[in-house]
């Protein structure tokens, strides 16, 4: 890779050189380079989003890669959770919300198109919330419930999927002997992993995670983060987090939002090592927000 | 927004600057002790090395503490990493000065082998390279940093020339061997000091632009 040193970025703490550099240097490619992605899965184009009269997202343009973890970061009210909820049309459930301009395409299909069924969309784009929300049912039924609604009533098949999903959520070993006990009896971290198991049981393409570890202790957080790392082999994951360290640890790409605008989107390593925008630098360094 | 621990970074930067100034003073004094045959000054250079050792440990301690407790990213992370590396280079500059001073003491006991011309020239270039590298730290001037890297060849050339000249001395007049060897080692020390200045310059490019330019031979060609 050839990098033009003269085109490098400025930071708020460094003065730019007076004279432009006149040569290029070869920068060896990173040893931590990711395996090839199959390309863009989600294409957000010129998106303007409103809560009633109040505009929450301004002209957001973003391409999210398949089988990658993308972190949305930014101060409270910056629009990151709003955008996340746009991706499976969860905002439809709030009165007065509207995409006034732009589009969100998943595999080329506009998810706000007239013929798109939001329920079907949410099967493809699952969601894990800030606070774990298992159904007041058994651990087994928490997983099987969605499958039954989809018409899967074969007991053997259900057993298989329940086990596979719980294994996928790294919960199987902890709950395999009490599958028919209430999901509400699990610890907070286990409940959150149960919700992740429930999400992956219906084989979505995308998993949206809205601050999934904010209510968890460090050990439960580490387990969820480990899980995210495993899940990205099969799923595309988008995570909203207020933890800079979590974004740095878990994600391949990071998008920084501020006041409804996408400020910077780049490889996570770049965002945390050499961001282009001084606002990004200030935010990830904890200087504002 | 100012954070309550911003003063820690300011202090870290100040300590690195202080270390740079101390290292430059040590090179200057070591050279002066040699050229002026000033044994007392040479002894002071040897004693003052402790100051650089202490500063290096202090900077390491501050850097480790900051990484541990403040989880720096972006420019701050690069600053802390570069600060640790540069302080190590400066500490090694101090070691080279001690070597020069010790050899200056030994040479002071004998008649001069030849007038000092090339060694002061090398020392002055090395001092200038160090000073400019520390200015790069202050101002983030990567162009200047790259110029320092290129200038290393100049010092290497003088070192080689001195090596040839001193070898001739030893062949022609074996009685000069001890003194010639002392001067060869002094020349090598100055060449190493210039190398450390280059390292610091390269580190400053990483600090300013997050680009690793080490081991890029093409950069050394002007």
**Separation between Cα atoms, residue A142 and residue A195, nearest integer Å:** 8
The band of A31, judged by pLDDT with boundaries at 50, 70 and 90, is: very low
Enter the tokens of residue A277.
């925008």
| Per-residue confidence (pLDDT) for residue A289, from 0 to 100 | 57
- In this structure, what DSSP letter does residue A126 have? E
Q: Which contiguous run of DSSP H or E holds residue A83?
A: helix A80-86
Chain A residue with the nearest C-alpha to that of B81:
A273
Residue A265, SS3?
strand
**Listed ranges A11-20, A219-228, B93-102; the one with the highest mean pLDDT:** B93-102
The verdict on pTM exceeding 0.90 is: no
Residue B1 covered by a domain: no
Higher-confidence residue of A239 and A224: namely A239
Identify the residue among B68, B78, B208 best suited for mutation to test binding to A, counting A beta carbons within 10 A and taking the highest. B208
A30 lies within 8 A of chain B by CB: no
Residues of chain B whose pLDDT is less than 70? 220-222
Residue B169 covered by a domain: yes
Nearest neighbour of A14 by CB, restricted to B140, B213, B219:
B140
Task: Determine, for residues A281 and B216 on separate chains, whether the beta-carbon distance falls below 8 Å.
Answer: no
The band of A10, judged by pLDDT with boundaries at 50, 70 and 90, is: very low
Per-residue pLDDT averaged across A279-283, rounded?
95
pLDDT surpasses 50 at A4: no
pLDDT digits over A56-88, tens only? 999 999 999 999 999 999 999 999 999 999 999
Chain A residue with the nearest C-alpha to that of B139:
A15
Identify the residue among A16, A274, A275 best suited for mutation to test binding to B, counting B beta carbons within 10 A and taking the highest. A274
| Per-residue confidence (pLDDT) for residue A82, from 0 to 100 | 97
| Per-residue confidence (pLDDT) for residue A24, from 0 to 100 | 39
Residue B201 covered by a domain: yes
Task: Determine, for residues B3 and A287 on separate chains, whether the beta-carbon distance falls below 8 Å.
Answer: yes
Residue B103 covered by a domain: yes
* Length reported for chain B: 222
A131 lies within 8 A of chain B by CB: no
| Per-residue confidence (pLDDT) for residue B2, from 0 to 100 | 80
Quick one: which of B93, B122, B126, B92 has its CA closest to B183? B122
Task: List A266's β-bridge partners, or say none.
Answer: A254
**Separation between Cα atoms, residue A79 and residue A132, nearest integer Å:** 22
Neighbours of A246 (CB within 10 A): 21
Residue B158's alpha-carbon distances to A148, B125, B130, B162, B185, in angstroms, are: 83, 11, 17, 6, 13
**Separation between Cα atoms, residue B34 and residue A160, nearest integer Å:** 83
The band of A37, judged by pLDDT with boundaries at 50, 70 and 90, is: low
Per-residue pLDDT averaged across A218-227, rounded?
90
Residue B91 covered by a domain: yes
Neighbours of A115 (CB within 10 A): 6
Task: Determine, for residues A13 and B209 on separate chains, whether the beta-carbon distance falls below 8 Å.
Answer: no
| Per-residue confidence (pLDDT) for residue A29, from 0 to 100 | 42
A244 lies within 8 A of chain B by CB: yes
A274 lies within 8 A of chain B by CB: yes
Task: Determine, for residues B73 and A273 on separate chains, whether the beta-carbon distance falls below 8 Å.
Answer: yes
Cβ(A175)–Cβ(A139) below 8 Å: yes
pLDDT digits over B128-147, tens only? 999 999 999 999 999 999 99
Percent of chain A beyond pLDDT 90? Answer: 80
What is the residue range of B193's domain? Answer: 6-221
Task: List A3's β-bridge partners, or say none.
Answer: A25
- Helix boundaries (H) for A97-151: 118-124, 139-149
Per-residue pLDDT averaged across A232-258, rounded?
96
Percent of chain A beyond pLDDT 70? Answer: 87
Per-residue pLDDT averaged across A259-272, rounded?
97
Strand locations in A16-136, DSSP E?
24-26, 40-51, 54-65, 69-73, 97-106, 109-110, 125-128
> Structural domain boundaries of chain A?
2-284
- Domain of B58, CATH number, reads 1.20.58.220
CATH number, span A2-284: 3.40.50.300
Sign of CA dihedral B43, B44, B50, B52: negative
Structural domains of chain B, count: 1
Task: Determine, for residues B140 and A17 on separate chains, whether the beta-carbon distance falls below 8 Å.
Answer: yes
- Residue partners of B54: CB distance under 8 A and separation at least 6: none
The band of A13, judged by pLDDT with boundaries at 50, 70 and 90, is: very low
**Separation between Cα atoms, residue B213 and residue A43, nearest integer Å:** 36
Cβ(B46)–Cβ(B65) below 8 Å: no
Residue B168 covered by a domain: yes
Residue A221's alpha-carbon distances to A207, A226, A243, B98, in angstroms, are: 17, 9, 11, 52
Chain A residue with the nearest C-alpha to that of B10:
A13
Nearest neighbour of A11 by CB, restricted to B71, B75, B144:
B75
Cβ(A112)–Cβ(A97) below 8 Å: no
ipTM for the predicted complex: 0.79
| Per-residue confidence (pLDDT) for residue B222, from 0 to 100 | 57
Q: With beta carbons under 8 A apart, name residues in chain A contacting B68.
A: none
Residue B36 covered by a domain: yes
């Amino acid at each position: 890779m050839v990098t033009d040193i003269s085109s490098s970025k400025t930071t708020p703490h460094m003065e730019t050189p007076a004279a432009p550099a006149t040569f290029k240097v070869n920068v060896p490619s990173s040893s931590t380079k990711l395996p090839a992605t199959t390309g863009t899965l989600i294409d957000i184009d010129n998106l303007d989003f409103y809560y009633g009269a109040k505009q929450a997202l301004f002209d957001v343009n973003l391409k999210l890669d398949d089988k990658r973890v993308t972190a949305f970061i930014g101060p409270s009210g910056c629009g990151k959770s709003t955008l996340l909820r746009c991706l499976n049309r969860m905002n439809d459930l709030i009165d007065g919300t509207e995409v006034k301009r732009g589009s969100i395409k998943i595999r080329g299909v506009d998810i706000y198109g007239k013929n798109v069924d939001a329920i079907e969309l949410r099967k493809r784009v699952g969601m894990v919330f800030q606070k774990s929300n298992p159904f007041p049912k058994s651990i087994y039924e928490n997983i099987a419930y969605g499958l039954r609604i989809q018409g899967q009533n074969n007991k053997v098949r259900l057993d298989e999927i329940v086990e596979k999903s719980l294994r996928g959520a790294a919960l199987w070993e902890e709950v395999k002997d009490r599958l028919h006990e209430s999901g509400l009896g699990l610890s907070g971290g286990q409940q959150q992993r149960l919700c992740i198991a429930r999400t992956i049981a219906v084989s979505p393409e995308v998993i949206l995670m809205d601050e999934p570890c904010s209510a968890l202790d460090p050990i439960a957080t580490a387990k969820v983060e480990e899980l995210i790392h495993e899940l990205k082999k099969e799923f595309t994951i988008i995570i909203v987090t207020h933890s800079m360290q979590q974004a740095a640890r878990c994600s391949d790409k990071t998008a920084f939002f501020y006041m409804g605008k996408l400020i910077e989107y780049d490889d996570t390593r770049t965002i945390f090592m050499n961001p282009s925008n001084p606002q990004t630098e200030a935010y990830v360094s904890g200087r504002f927000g | 927004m100012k954070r309550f621990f911003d003063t820690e970074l300011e202090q870290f930067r100040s300590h690195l600057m202080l270390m740079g100034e101390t290292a430059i003073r040590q090179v200057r004094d070591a050279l002066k002790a040699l050229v002026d045959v000033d044994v007392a000054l040479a002894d002071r250079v040897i004693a003052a090395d402790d100051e650089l050792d202490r500063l290096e440990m202090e900077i390491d301690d501050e850097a480790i503490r900051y990484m541990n407790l403040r989880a720096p990213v972006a420019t701050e992370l690069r600053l802390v990493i570069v600060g640790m590396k540069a302080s190590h280079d400066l500490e090694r500059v101090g070691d080279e000065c001690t070597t020069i001073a010790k050899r200056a003491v030994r040479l002071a006991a004998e008649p001069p082998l030849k007038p000092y011309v090339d060694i002061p020239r090398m020392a002055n270039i090395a001092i200038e390279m160090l000073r400019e590298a520390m200015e790069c730290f202050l101002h983030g001037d990567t162009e200047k940093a790259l110029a320092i890297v290129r200038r290393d060849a100049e010092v290497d050339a003088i070192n080689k020339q001195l090596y040839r000249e001193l070898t001739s001395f030893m062949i022609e007049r074996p009685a000069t061997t001890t003194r010639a060897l002392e001067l060869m080692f002094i020349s090598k020390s100055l060449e190493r000091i210039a190398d450390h200045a280059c390292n610091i310059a390269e580190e400053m490019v990483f600090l300013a632009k997050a680009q690793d330019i080490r081991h890029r031979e093409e950069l050394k060609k002007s």
